[in-house]
Structure 1
Amino acid sequence: MGSKELILKSYLSKYKYADIAKRDILGVFAKYQDLQPRQGPFIFNNGTQKDLVNLDGCLPVPFRGNFYNIPINIFILDTHPYNPPYVYVRPTDDMNINPGTYVDGNGKVDLPYLRDWRYPQSDLLGLIEVLVIAFGKESPVYKRLGSRPRGCQVAIQQNPDRKDSGQRSSASATDQRFLCKECRLNPLEVTIQPCGHLATCESCCRRLKKQQNECPICSGPIDNVVRSFVPE
């Protein structure tokens, strides 16, 4: 048993579904080794506080042709995996939060994947892959002018022009009907067979096939997939 697994076993001792939560978290560590298990107080909107396990570290994100490490915290509720986690961007001293479509001014992340969370279709690894997609479209942080990089490398060198950013967002807006039914960010790219549903992007389809191997629309099996194109 590895050190992370031993730490998790201790941290999750009071969780209702500790074995499922541990398995879900270890699946993340297998792919994203920079993330570390932590435990600490989390304050809810109603003022109550609870010690929660959280995944702390940097997430590698492709942005404008380069990879950058975005600092995040994922707070996992004691009812995981039946309730979605809370995700925050945690900028280092040389970064500022870049509020936008997916992140508010406090760094809290809001995504369709979190709002529509449902176990077993939703899991932490799927969430992180959606975060990578979202942050690759719109960086959640930018570098403070005159600062030297510390820890995670920041994606944007200066405060983006918000007006220009809004114009790009408006110009690239996509009809919700033509977005992947899983991440709700990428366009539809794959038709699932034998059911014939044009349901996901390629990235989400690969993940679904490795996990439950079910179509997200009808729950039918994924025997084969066909690259498809939605006319503009």
Structure 2
Amino acid sequence: MELLYDLKGHMEQLQREMSELRKSIQSCMEMQMNSQNYLKVQEVHPVQGNGKNSFDRRLNKRSCCICYETQVDSFLYRCGHMCTCLKCAHELLQSSGKCPICRAPILDVVRAYLDS
């Protein structure tokens, strides 16, 4: 009988974990859709002059807010801030685990590839 209760408790824990994973996947998909929509808007409204959109120009000039040496090339998952290079983002994940902009917990680091 005790084994039955242990199994039931384990199943409930697994169901909670699956629910949390579903929420994380949904959040990630929403963030991706928002990013894609933002990039589409930027492509529709190019900057006057050289034809590059303002998002590309801003990002090309942005350096990492931690080391100030490398270009921003990653975003922090869950908050979505793009403020660090990949190396510094991974160091943040291992050390403080918090976004330097909003202090939200960093669950993962995603490398961002932009067309140039």
| TM-score, normalization by structure 2 | 0.45
Q: Does 1 or 2 have the higher relative contact order (CA < 8 Å, sep 6+)?
A: 2
**Which of the two has higher C-alpha Rg?**
2
* Bigger fraction of residues in helix: 2
| TM-score, normalization by structure 1 | 0.23
* Bigger fraction of residues in strand: 1
